[in-house]
Amino acid sequence: MPVSAERNSEGTTWIVTVDSNAPVEPIRRAIERSGLTIQQFLQPASIMIVRGTEAQAEQARRLAGVAAVEADLEFDVGPPDAPVS
Domains of the chain, start order: 3-74 (3.30.70.80)
Cβ atoms of 10 and 51 within 8 Å: the answer is yes
For the chain, strand residue ranges (E) read 3-5, 7-8, 11-18, 37-42, 47-52, 66-71, 73-75
Residue pLDDT, tens place only, 3-36: 334 443 468 999 999 999 999 999 999 999 999 9
Instruction: Find out whether 67 and 34 touch, Cβ atoms under 8 Å.
Output: no
Q: Are 15 and 70 in contact (CB under 8 A)?
A: yes
What is the value of pTM for the model shown? 0.77
Instruction: Note the pLDDT of residue 17.
Output: 97
Give pLDDT, residue 82.
Answer: 76
